[in-house]
Amino acid sequence: MANHTVETELRKLKEILEVPRTKEWEYTVKLLLGLIGEDPNRPGLRRTPLRVKRALQFLTAGYRQDPAWLFKRAVGRAKTDEMVIVKDIDFASLCEHHLLPFFGKCHIAYMPDKQIIGLSKIPRLVDVFARRLQVQERLTTQIAESLNTFVQPLGVACVIEAQHLCLMMRGVQKQNTRAITSAMLGVFRTSEKTRAEFLTLVRSGSV
């Protein structure tokens, strides 16, 4: 029985590898549906391969976006050293371990040196990295390091609070669990006062 199952799956895989590229999504999703015991040809699932393709292309659009292009015309010179904060940035991403969503809010601050960035570019930067297969720790670091590289401020801070469906729907199944990660660069790492000011403003009801 086991050998029959292996042979069957190998045959299905061989069929997928030989199909035209325009049909790869359809065959792959149909195979997954069949492996979980579903009938991919029943009415409710007939258009599922197309829907899955479009959804995953949207949720992984960050692979096709370059942060450098985002900053190309967004950075301007300014004489200010006051903290800039954009908080409560909603985001959603896909956990690379289970391909299940995690979602939450991102809080970002930077201390300008000689340059500032258009405020709308900061949420866009979050999306560039969130719309990839991710882990929260790396997402936090990538956002902070990218802002630090292209704006060259005195410091950058990024805090992410997120809920993970891989914790809520499977595994420990704890629906109210949140994960919090942070990345502190420059003065946010070296100055306790600056770091404390940022965290206080993020936790407050309004900035």
Catalytic residues: 95-98, 136, 164, 166
How many CA atoms lie less than 13 Å away from 152 in the CB half-sphere?
6
Q: How far is CA 93 from the centre of its chain?
A: 4
Token pair listed for 112: 């300008």
Distance CA 22, CA 114 (A): 49
Task: Give the angle subtended at the CA of 125 by the CAs of 169 and 160, to the nearest 5°.
Answer: 40
